[in-house]
Amino acid sequence: MKRQADKGQRAGATGVADAALAEELRPGQSVELLKELHILTREGRLNQDSRRKLKQVYHLYQFIEKLLLELPEEGAVATVADHGAGKSYLGFILHDLFFKARGGHIYGIESRAELVERSRALADRLGFARMHFLALSVAESATATELPAQIDMVTALHACDTATDDAIAFGLAKQARFMVLVPCCQAEVAASLRHSKALSLARTPLAELWRHPLHTREIGSQLTNVLRCLYLEACGYQVTVTELVGWEHSMKNELILARRTGHRKASAAQRLRALLAEFGLDELAGRRFPALPPAASATEAVHEA
């Protein structure tokens, strides 16, 4: 009797676990895929760390899905380039939830060859024939012949430091309709601030913003993303900045959504140049913002405003 009672308790616990898991998953989602990605254990359970990871990807997917549905045939022939793909959590889940029932192609760009081989093997096992993985840096991928001349969407989830800038450059070169960017650690601007000390501001109270190394890093990160948004606007994109998920799930939480309009904002180029000059970062202009169009005249700036 005791053995039967224990068995009944285990069955009941499994039922609760299955019900809890079902609440976390999307309709039609592959449990086997999540096991292969080690988001679920072999027993089909979800630990707290995996739950956070899944929550981030799901939340990002909501933004991506909405944009893809704006494309011809509701995204059925869409092309997506996922930069800094890592283990391709985002790419595989995007394929499973969106492309599996439609069409289209996903290109995972990752510089670590062992991760690329692992992703290729997994795609083969699952029969995901429209997923392609390239062992390239983000910068190299812009001229790679394995990629189509035009890409509908560029994604970069936690691409470190200047990889986000390379993803933007890729998107501009491929005339991407949309860019979905979640920047990660950013050191270049902070290093430039430490080196130049933003001399034009050194004798003003604003210099307090980067007097301490921790503040330098945070100001550098904030300034980097402000410059990126202005650059995208100057190159013909409408930009929205929001949170990816709650801060309790990720400290790298800024989500930049860019939609191509073709309307280049000369005033954004002007403000970008002014910020670079004000903070002593002119050296970054050619390296990080090569497609920056001419700055607006005073008349154009007033007209845009």
Give tens-digit pLDDT for 125-156. Answer: 999 999 999 999 988 999 999 999 999 999 99
Q: What is the pLDDT of residue 252?
A: 63
Crossing angle of the two packed helices 188-196 and 213-234, in degrees rounded to 10: 120
Three-state DSSP at 36 gives helix
How far apart are the C-alpha atoms of 293 and 159, rounded to whole Å? 26
- Is residue 91 assigned to a domain? yes
DSSP codes joined into one string, 101-161: GT--EEEEEES-HHHHHHHHHHHHHHT-TTEEEEE--HHHHTT-TTS-S--SEEEEEEE-T
- For residue range 266-287, what is the model confidence (pLDDT) as tens digits? 999 999 999 998 888 888 888 8
- Is residue 121 assigned to a domain? yes
- Is residue 35 assigned to a domain? no
Domain boundaries, position 81: 53-304
Burial code of 283-302, b = ≥16 C-beta within 10 A, e = fewer?
Answer: ebeeebbeebeebbeeeebe
Contacts 24+ apart (CB under 8 A), 292-297: 292/231, 292/234, 292/235, 293/234, 293/235, 293/264, 293/266, 293/269, 294/266, 294/269, 295/266, 295/269, 295/270, 296/265, 296/266, 296/267, 296/269, 296/270, 297/266
Contacts (Cβ under 8 Å, ≥6 apart) of 112: 86, 135
How far apart are the C-alpha atoms of 255 and 241, rounded to whole Å? 6
- Is residue 170 assigned to a domain? yes
CATH number of residue 74's parent domain: 3.40.50.150
pLDDT tier, 51 (very low <50, low <70, confident <90, very high otherwise) = confident
In the predicted model, what is the mean pLDDT of residues 47-73? 87
In the predicted model, what is the mean pLDDT of residues 211-226? 87
How far apart are the C-alpha atoms of 243 and 183, rounded to whole Å? 12
Pairing of strands 254-260, 178-183: antiparallel
Give strand ranges (E) for the chain.
79-83, 105-110, 131-135, 153-159, 178-183, 237-243, 254-260
Question: DSSP label at 45?
Answer: -
Largest distance between two CA atoms of the chain: 88
- Is residue 32 assigned to a domain? no
Other beta carbons less than 10 A from residue 220's beta carbon: 22
How far apart are the C-alpha atoms of 117 and 82, rounded to whole Å? 16
Residue 251 Cα distances to 115, 183, 248, 286, angstroms: 25, 11, 7, 30
Q: In this model, does residue 25 exceed pLDDT 60?
A: yes
Q: What is the pLDDT of residue 242?
A: 92
Number of structural domains, the chain? 1
Q: In this model, does residue 232 exceed pLDDT 80?
A: yes
- For residue range 91-136, what is the model confidence (pLDDT) as tens digits? 999 999 999 989 899 999 999 999 999 999 999 999 999 999 999 9
- Is residue 26 assigned to a domain? no
Q: What is the pLDDT of residue 199?
A: 64
- Is residue 271 assigned to a domain? yes
Q: What is the pLDDT of residue 11?
A: 38
Q: In this model, does residue 37 exceed pLDDT 60?
A: yes
Which neighbouring-strand residues pair with 159? 183
Question: DSSP label at 74?
Answer: G
Other beta carbons less than 10 A from residue 247's beta carbon: 9
End-to-end CA separation in angstroms for the chain:
79
Q: Among the listed ranges 167-176, 231-240, 241-250, which one has the minimum average pLDDT value?
A: 241-250
- Is residue 25 assigned to a domain? no
Three-state DSSP at 26 gives coil
Q: What is the pLDDT of residue 20?
A: 61
Q: Among the listed ranges 182-186, 200-204, 249-253, 272-276, which one has the minimum average pLDDT value?
A: 249-253
